[in-house]
């Protein structure tokens, strides 16, 4: 797993690393919140805010980059079509 992360870093795939980090943080903090809830329910529930925020941030990051990619590809296709017509 670590080797794949290092390979992504060397390949300059920062977006993929960021998404993996958001979701890993979400899963780990969800597990920690579950363990804490066994001992103190109020504390466990309050710690659940961390995975919720990490999960929402990861999803919003994916959606934002998808919109940016669509916009850029649309511009590239439009420029390509206008050059082909000339």
Q: What is the pLDDT of residues 27-68, one digit of tens each?
A: 898 899 999 999 999 998 888 888 888 888 888 988 888 888
Q: Which range has the top average pLDDT, 8-12, 36-40, 48-52, 72-76?
A: 36-40
- Average pLDDT over every residue of 9-29: 80
What's the half-sphere exposure (Cβ side, CA atoms, 13 Å) at 13? 12
CA angle, corner 29, sides to 50 and 49, nearest 5? 20
CA 77 to chain centre: 27
pTM: 0.66
Residue 86 confidence (pLDDT): 57
Coil, helix or strand for 1?
A: coil
């Amino acid at each position: 797993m670590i080797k794949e992360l290092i390979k992504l870093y060397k390949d300059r795939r920062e977006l993929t690393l960021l998404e993996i980090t958001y979701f890993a943080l979400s899963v780990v903090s969800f597990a920690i919140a579950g363990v804490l809830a066994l001992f103190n329910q109020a504390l466990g529930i309050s710690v659940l805010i961390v995975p919720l925020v990490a999960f929402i941030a990861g999803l919003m990051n994916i959606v934002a980059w998808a919109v940016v990619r669509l916009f850029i590809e649309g511009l590239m296709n439009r420029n390509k079509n206008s050059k082909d017509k000339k």
